[in-house]
Structure 1
Amino acid sequence: MHENDRVTPQTRGLLFAGTTSDAGKSLVTAAACRLFARNGVKVAPFKSQNMSNNSMVCSDGSEIGRAQWLQAVAAGAEPETAMNPVLLKPGSDRRSHIVLLGKPAGTLEAGEFATGRAHLAKAAFEAYRDLASRYDVVLSEGAGSPAEVNLRAGDYVNMGLAREMHLPVVVVGDIDRGGVLAAMFGTLGMLEPADQRHLKGWIVNKFRGDVELLRPGLRTLEERTDRPVLGVIPWLADLWLDSEDALAIAGWQHRVDPTLRVAAVRFPRISNATDLDALAAEPGVAVAFTTSAAELADADLVVLPGSRATLSDLAWLRERGLDAAIARRVVEGKPVLGICGGNQMLAATIHDPLGIEAGSPTSVAGLGLLPTRVDFGADKILGRPTGSWRGEHVAAYEIHHGVTTLDGDALRAWEASMFLDGFTMGAVWGTTWHGAFESDGFRRAFLAEVASRTGSPWTPQPDAPGYADRREDMLDRLADALDEAVGFQPLIDLVDAGVQP
């Protein structure tokens, strides 16, 4: 190929698509970011549109998907809005809240998904070109499956992005689910010819066992698709890196012989479930998401995590009698923690005069476990706060509409004290801060307090690695696995070749 025929620097990149959601493309993209950075490439991650209630606040106060934040960390790049220009946060089965270039930008109805996103596509393409002008390579992550041809007309995340930017596409498939070879073959078959020419190869993910047993199937796939299998990545244990959606929540919840048990309520609209990752990484601690009243009763600590629909999830909690199980814990002096939306549920009253969450003005009774009131307003609060608790430094981030304050009518004779930016009373704690448990000293001090209240023998292990160190170690393990299975050179060769118009 003549040098002048190569892909232009303005579009230099690679797109990792998946046969399904949760096929592992987020982690493969993170691994590739770390691998490219190791090899001296200035690389940025990108995802045109992310549909997730797990998000992160950048240093400038903007909001992006948690997966792209992690990929930026892997790349050694500063996370920014251009890396995830469109973030859709599902509020119901038929409506998502739009975060455009880091800020709230209305809603998207289910009926608009196929054809009502032209303005979002324009913003996404501009963001990609902006990144490409400042980085050597942009590594993009697709969404869902590129074979969702019912959505192809309005697609700007998978083949729509590939066509616009002349990107080669590598499809990742999760063999642990079964049927991966058929899913790959079917993915190619569902694409129109102009899209097919962008698909350059396959990566099999999460393989267990002897790869020689798989090779006949791989050869057949290569023969029938005329595309190479670039590599087979083995199953990697103990990876829970910043999962993008609820499909991945259960990946780390089992631990042998734990001495401290944490039960988190699995809300239908759970948000920022990654708050629990650092607890699950702590030696001797087991974390499980649950909808069982019995599990809530048995745990040392119950966590009400964040929610994208506080009022709806509060009603769901009551419908299942879980509110009563939580109230019994408080009477018995057993620890309960609410984070963001979960903290709002602990309040005496919740007021939504503008219908921010409910769609129409409303006021409802909260669980009444803290003497607080929540008032929803039009402005979304985004920030990267810091503080301390019992002398331990805490760094966190916040993403919420409601403002929580002490309620004089509910306070009566009770005494409540400050906890981070929230309040605590007895064995109940509430905070709007996400990510606080990633601060090692605070996490261990808080868990030690829980253990002392429940009689658990759990104590911190002073020689255990910190959470940030564990994240870096896991990113390196991912990059090592991708390097061994695929290698840097085949990937950079795809980037250099591009797909000519």
Structure 2
Amino acid sequence: MKHKNIMVVGTSSGAGKSITVTGLCRVFFKDGYTVSPFKSQNMALNSYITKEGHEMGRAQALQAIACDKDAHYKMNPILLKPTGDRRIQVILNGKSIGNMGGFEYGKFKSNLKKEIMDAYDELKNESEICVIEGAGSPVELNIKQDDIVNMGLAQMIDAPVILVADIDRGGVFASIYGTISLMEPEERERVKGVIINKFRGNVDILRPGLEKIEELTGVPILGVMPYFELDIEDEDGVTEKFNKIKTNNNNINISVIKLKHLSNFTDIDALSINEDVNINYITSFYELGNEDLIIIPGSKNTIDDLKDLKEKGMAQELIKLSRKGTPIIGICGGFQMLGGKVLDPYGIEGDIKELPGLGLLDIETTMEKEKVTTQYSGILKGKGEFLKGLGDIEVKGYEIHQGVTSGQEESLTLDDRLVATSKDNIFGTYLHGIFDNLEFTDFILNKLREKKGLERKVSNISFDEYRIGEIDKLEKIFRENVDIEAIYKILEEN
């Protein structure tokens, strides 16, 4: 098959672009094609580290799984990570090239078209179909001139376009009509179909509106996706996972500190697939105190988030609860906060050169110029109160951190650096994806169940298997509600 491509743009952020690309990737793969996802530029809270040690958007890594491929930075050559103070860390071809302000990056990004085309051309040479994802809205008039991720990219790679609109927000017909109307004539010609996302109710009620919008825009409606529950990773803060869930004494209640610069909250997903686990994202100290476990997740700016926890009174409450015996797990930036202090001699994260930590582990962290980005596999030793009875198990994950941590706490891995450690009821690790390790997670949850007098459980499915099941569920919903034959025709005609 000659290489084909198709691009998915949305009427807004959170319209459903990522999930549409994931679904199409799975459909094409299951139909026997070699498929690759592509997003030229991604701004995201969640990132992923490839086998080669390159950093990329988590959404594209998930889409690679849908294609049964290893994730590679060329699927997302530009990743932007907000770091606070109106600055972003720019990841180019998997490696950080430093922090920039928005205006500075706006001028710089015009230099990146060659990098984008080089990455795309590599995928083009190894794939029969590329499914491309846009970002935000394709008609942001103030930044449209140097667009490298929406209709500007569609022109660069000569791609037909599908527009996705979220009906759950309301005003779906206005958003479809307005988006297409604001496009230039040559851009409108690229739009070959519309998918309406998150519809609740009987589609027949919607049909008069569908017919009218087709008449007004000249663009066919390819399908109406129903509102459905799907448990796969979210790309950014547009997620329902942050909605509060009330505690239940018959369940395990876990409080996750929703940091100001929260990063890689997908680490928690493997816990949430357990039916007797409630996850609550906490923003105020008065919400703490009724949980069985507290998790301090990753951060894109450890020092600023640690400062924020102190100013809100959260730090003091965490220290108080730890002394009462509440288990606390810190991951990456959260791990760094558990120590005695965090140092930033080079001003990597801002103007604060040193800040005391929570003092729950006898460690300290220094922010270095070089960023650690690596996949990890090794032996975790079940030592100390926190992991007593676990034994030695193999764990895997990935690391993304600017800081180097050292101190008096014993390493729980066989490495010459501190990847994981514990003291009393405190556990800290640099491993993103730590809860994807079934044996580790079962041990932690059963320890919490025993403490509450609940029955022990053994998981019969790994998180990797669960995720594939959810992707296949998405494929089935797509086939049932979207005109896949029409999409193949769009591919053939381009």
1:114-163 Cα distance to aligned partner (Å, 9 max, x none): 44311223211221111111110110011011011211111111101101
Identify the match of residue 431 of structure 1 among 429, 432, 442.
429
- CA, structure 1 residues 77+87, in 2 after alignment: closer, same or farther (shift >3 Å)? same
> What letter corresponds to residue 196 of structure 2 in structure 1?
V
| 1:482 Cα deviation after fit | 1.0
Q: What corresponds to 2:447 in structure 1?
A: 449
> What letter corresponds to residue 439 of structure 1 in structure 2?
N
Q: What corresponds to 2:284 in structure 1?
A: 292
Q: Do structure 1's residue 365 and structure 2's residue 356 form an aligned pair? A: yes
User: Identity of counterpart residues, as a percentage?
Assistant: 36
> What letter corresponds to residue 375 of structure 1 in structure 2?
T
Q: Do structure 1's residue 124 and structure 2's residue 116 form an aligned pair? A: yes
Partners of 1:222 and 1:330 in 2: CA distance: 59
- The worse-fitting range, judged by mean Cα deviation, of 480-489 and 152-161 is 480-489
Partners of 2:347 and 2:448 in 1: CA distance: 37
1:402 match: secondary structure = strand
Q: Do structure 1's residue 269 and structure 2's residue 261 form an aligned pair? A: yes
| 1:208 Cα deviation after fit | 1.2
| 1:418 Cα deviation after fit | 3.4
Partners of 1:300 and 1:341 in 2: CA distance: 21
- The worse-fitting range, judged by mean Cα deviation, of 37-46 and 282-291 is 282-291
Do 2:38 and 2:131's aligned partners in 1 also have CA atoms closer than 8 Å?
A: yes
2:355 match: secondary structure = strand
Partners of 2:275 and 2:288 in 1: CA distance: 21
Structure 1 runs not aligned, ≥5 long: 1-7, 408-415
Do 1:253 and 1:286's aligned partners in 2 also have CA atoms closer than 8 Å?
A: no
> What letter corresponds to residue 479 of structure 1 in structure 2?
E
- CA, structure 1 residues 352+269, in 2 after alignment: closer, same or farther (shift >3 Å)? same
TM-score w.r.t. structure 1 length?
0.92
Q: Do structure 1's residue 221 and structure 2's residue 213 form an aligned pair? A: yes
- CA, structure 1 residues 113+201, in 2 after alignment: closer, same or farther (shift >3 Å)? farther
Question: Which residues of 2 match residues 76-475 of structure 1 at below 5 A?
Answer: 76-237=68-229, 239-248=230-239, 250=241, 254=245, 259-358=251-350, 360=351, 362-387=353-378, 388=380, 389=382, 390=390, 391-407=392-408, 416-419=409-412, 421-452=419-450, 455-462=451-458, 464-475=460-471
1:324-358 Cα distance to aligned partner (Å, 9 max, x none): 11011111011111100011111101111111112
> What letter corresponds to residue 199 of structure 1 in structure 2?
V
1:144-198 Cα distance to aligned partner (Å, 9 max, x none): 1101121111111110110111111101111111111111111101111121111
- The worse-fitting range, judged by mean Cα deviation, of 110-119 and 72-81 is 110-119
Do 2:243 and 2:281's aligned partners in 1 also have CA atoms closer than 8 Å?
A: no
Do 1:284 and 1:458's aligned partners in 2 also have CA atoms closer than 8 Å?
A: no
- The worse-fitting range, judged by mean Cα deviation, of 252-261 and 363-372 is 252-261
- CA, structure 1 residues 105+459, in 2 after alignment: closer, same or farther (shift >3 Å)? farther
Partners of 2:325 and 2:308 in 1: CA distance: 24
| 1:255 Cα deviation after fit | 8.0
> What letter corresponds to residue 433 of structure 1 in structure 2?
L
Partners of 2:462 and 2:433 in 1: CA distance: 14
Do 1:422 and 1:432's aligned partners in 2 also have CA atoms closer than 8 Å?
A: yes
2:487 match: secondary structure = helix
1:27-46 Cα distance to aligned partner (Å, 9 max, x none): 11111111000111100000
Q: What corresponds to 2:386 in structure 1?
A: none
| 1:417 Cα deviation after fit | 3.9
1:247 match: secondary structure = coil
Q: What corresponds to 1:410 in structure 2?
A: none
| 1:458 Cα deviation after fit | 4.2
Partners of 1:294 and 1:444 in 2: CA distance: 29
Partners of 1:249 and 1:382 in 2: CA distance: 29
> What letter corresponds to residue 381 of structure 1 in structure 2?
V
1:13-53 Cα distance to aligned partner (Å, 9 max, x none): 01111111111111111111110001111000000001012
- CA, structure 1 residues 430+70, in 2 after alignment: closer, same or farther (shift >3 Å)? same
- CA, structure 1 residues 217+269, in 2 after alignment: closer, same or farther (shift >3 Å)? same
Q: What corresponds to 1:412 in structure 2?
A: none
| 1:283 Cα deviation after fit | 2.1
Partners of 1:193 and 1:487 in 2: CA distance: 26
1:461 match: secondary structure = coil
Partners of 1:117 and 1:318 in 2: CA distance: 37
- CA, structure 1 residues 111+264, in 2 after alignment: closer, same or farther (shift >3 Å)? same
1:105 match: secondary structure = strand
| 1:240 Cα deviation after fit | 3.0
2:233 match: secondary structure = coil
Do 2:442 and 2:458's aligned partners in 1 also have CA atoms closer than 8 Å?
A: no
> What letter corresponds to residue 404 of structure 1 in structure 2?
T
| 1:485 Cα deviation after fit | 1.3
Partners of 2:441 and 2:124 in 1: CA distance: 39
Do 2:449 and 2:456's aligned partners in 1 also have CA atoms closer than 8 Å?
A: no
- CA, structure 1 residues 115+307, in 2 after alignment: closer, same or farther (shift >3 Å)? same
| 1:450 Cα deviation after fit | 3.3
> What letter corresponds to residue 470 of structure 2 in structure 1?
M
Partners of 1:354 and 1:463 in 2: CA distance: 45
1:283 match: secondary structure = coil
- CA, structure 1 residues 249+418, in 2 after alignment: closer, same or farther (shift >3 Å)? farther
- CA, structure 1 residues 14+190, in 2 after alignment: closer, same or farther (shift >3 Å)? same
Do 1:301 and 1:334's aligned partners in 2 also have CA atoms closer than 8 Å?
A: yes
> What letter corresponds to residue 373 of structure 2 in structure 1?
L
> What letter corresponds to residue 372 of structure 1 in structure 2?
I
- The worse-fitting range, judged by mean Cα deviation, of 456-465 and 63-72 is 456-465
Structure 2 runs not aligned, ≥5 long: 383-389, 414-418
- CA, structure 1 residues 435+459, in 2 after alignment: closer, same or farther (shift >3 Å)? farther
Do 2:247 and 2:253's aligned partners in 1 also have CA atoms closer than 8 Å?
A: no
Partners of 1:180 and 1:194 in 2: CA distance: 23
| 1:459 Cα deviation after fit | 4.4
- The worse-fitting range, judged by mean Cα deviation, of 476-485 and 387-396 is 387-396
> What letter corresponds to residue 363 of structure 1 in structure 2?
E
1:236 match: secondary structure = coil
Q: How many pairs align?
A: 478
Do 2:438 and 2:459's aligned partners in 1 also have CA atoms closer than 8 Å?
A: no
- CA, structure 1 residues 141+42, in 2 after alignment: closer, same or farther (shift >3 Å)? same
Partners of 1:153 and 1:364 in 2: CA distance: 42
Q: What corresponds to 2:387 in structure 1?
A: none
| 1:107 Cα deviation after fit | 2.4
| RMSD of aligned Cα (Å) | 1.8
2:369 match: secondary structure = coil
